[in-house]
Structure 1
Amino acid sequence: MNKPILTRRQLIRLGALGASSVVLSGCDAFDLLGNRSSSVRDIVAKANDVTYYVQRFLIGDALAREYPESEIRQPQKPNGSTNPQTPEYLALKAADFSDYRLSVSGLVETPKSYSLSELRNMPSRTQITRHDCVEGWSCIAKWTGTPLSVVLDEVKLRPSARYIVFHCYDSLGSGRAGPAFYYESCDLADARHPQTILAYGLNDQVLPVSNGAPIRVRIERQLGYKQPKYIRAIEAVSTFEDIGRGRGGYWEDRGYEWYAGI
């Protein structure tokens, strides 16, 4: 069993600018954080950057804790989107995802797309980990999938790539530009971490729709909203400037912090 890594709570006790976590976790409750020109947002964002670098320094490449099967005592709780209703997703689901293709593009030398069967036939990893939600609950489950690093090695990232963005099928409302599709991102350290997988299995069964079928990303050292479901495409980028509202994720665009390490 792996040794537990240093948690965010421990970092706060060490004085690692815990105030940034308290404010940003409030999301839309703090209207000032939605104003990109706000001086308060700038201060909080800089404090969050420091928290990110402190955690990266202290944690390094450590693994998230893994558990024995005896600790799996309930099904993985579905939350957020549990049954996307976009036409493209409904068509894929009706065909049992036989037509699914995961595109990997952006700052890569060899863009590729993968069927679900191709992903299942690639090297795999199974891990029993705890999902920690920003809402306060947690759940231990067994996940099986393709290490994201295997896919990134195949497409060959360009030197200018700094982040990996996950585009999803599920929409959480709409705006003037149309449906607001969920998206998330991580840096290359998390993307290449051995526990970061493109999960297609849950508790020795095929990943159900309610938990993100056909593919869900598991980034085990981050909170639940950083582990997107219903993955449509993966994109390597150097900046978030032209994606969503430019903050690296659906909830980050609405006030959550981008780095949600635990």
Structure 2
Amino acid sequence: MTFSITRRRLLIGSAAGLGAISLTGCDDVAQNAKVQAVLEMAETLTMKSQRLLVPRDRLAREFSEADISPIFRSNGTSQPDGEDYARMMETGFAEWRLKIDGLVEHPVELSLADLKRLPSRTQITRHDCVEGWSAIGKWTGVPLGLILQSAGMRPGARYAVFYCADQLEQTIDGSGTYYESVDLIDAFHPQTILAYQLNGKDLDVAHGAPLRLRVERHLGYKHAKYLMRIEIKDSFASLWGGKGGFWEDRGYEWYAGI
């Protein structure tokens, strides 16, 4: 019997394996320096290979209305803790603002109404979770590249870092705050959007209200929910674990392209 091993299956298996190791109390592979170095080398090779072989603007597969899943599970947090988020929920996110700063020429703050007035994109795509499930949904939002182009990239800009409202661990240094990042190649991809609707309705809390990232050529943990701020940076050196994301700081791959 012949088996086809795709990158998606390999990543799901790797991430699930890391989680299982942690839960069973065995030696955590993610904390083993030698193993981690090998994983990072493989990740770099995979990213460079995909970037070389796959055109930058190549689209992830899009589906029809008939393909939309009857149930779309929520990945990660289902509702952020904290009084600030609770207050925003009570007002229908009227007071919520998305801050865009860092290595940009024109830092801005945008309300949900501001975002909805901008040109939008709707796409029906498949969400692939590292836990092994998939679902197809129709997402509507603003192309991230459009907003970044308007803000203007300054010299040295390499990454877009997404800070979220959910705090998964209570830590003094803020390292428990959920965050993610992509490089500017993925940030400017035509299917990378800041989504405010799922299946024709405004996002509910479980799916990331009021705004979440959709970066369709990556696994689900890259699709950050509850967005509060986007910072353009030249490196991850000043960010907590220095790996570019909450789960990446805990052993997941930063490049989760599929």
TM (norm. structure 2) is 0.90
Of 163, 169, 176, the match for 1:180: 176
Q: Which amino acid aligns with 1:241?
A: A
Q: Give the secondary-structure state (helix, strand or coil) at the position aligned to 1:56.
A: helix
Q: Alpha-carbon deviation of 1:58?
A: 1.8
Do the aligned residues in 2 keep the contact of 1:252 with 1:258 (CA within 8 Å)?
Answer: yes
Is 2:216 the partner of 1:225?
no
CA deviation map 1:17-36 (0-9, x unaligned): x6x8865653352624225x
1:198 and 2:194 are equivalent in the alignment: yes
Amino acid at match of 2:232: A
Question: Are 2:248 and 1:257 aligned?
Answer: no
Tell me the alpha carbon deviations over residues 30-78 of structure 1, each in whole angstroms, 9 at most, x when there is no partner. Answer: 624225xx23322221121001111112222210000000001313211
2:75–2:129 CA contact under 8 A, matched in 1: no
Task: Assess if the C-alpha contact under 8 Å between 2:104 and 2:153 holds in 1.
Answer: yes
Following TM superposition, by how much is the alpha carbon of 1:11 offset from its aligned partner in structure 2, in angstroms? Answer: 5.9
Determine helix, strand or coil for the equivalent of 1:175: coil
Equivalent residue in structure 2 for 1:50, among 26, 37, 45: 45
Equivalent residue in structure 1 for 2:30, among 29, 33, 50: 33
- Between stretches 41-50 and 234-243, larger displacement belongs to 41-50
Instruction: Tell me which of 190, 212, 219 is aligned to 1:216.
Output: 212
Cα contact 2:103–2:156 (8 A) shared by 1 = yes
2-structure distance, mates of 1:256, 1:74: 29
Percent pairwise identity? 48
Q: 1:177 and 1:26, CA in 2 relative to 1: closer, same or farther beyond 3 A?
A: same
Post-superposition shift, 1:171? 1.2
C-alpha RMSD of matched pairs (Å): 2.1
Amino acid paired to 1:57:
L
Cα separation, 2, equivalents of 1:143 and 1:49: 30
Distance 1:21 1:70 in 2: 27
**Alignment check: 8 A CA contact 1:146 1:197 kept:** yes
**Are 1:119 and 2:115 an aligned pair?**
yes
Aligned length: 248
Conserved in 2, the CA contact under 8 Å of 1:104 and 1:235? yes
Matched with 1:98 is 94
* Alignment check: 8 A CA contact 1:21 1:48 kept: no
| Equivalent residue for 2:158, pick from 153, 157, 162 | 162
Q: What SS class does the counterpart of residue 247 from structure 1 fall into?
A: coil
Stretches of structure 2 that go unaligned for 5 or more consecutive residues are 22-26
- Is the 2:16–2:131 contact (alpha carbons within 8 Å) kept by the matching residues of 1? no
Task: Provide the rounded CA distance (Å) in 2 between the counterparts of 1:62 and 1:31.
Answer: 36
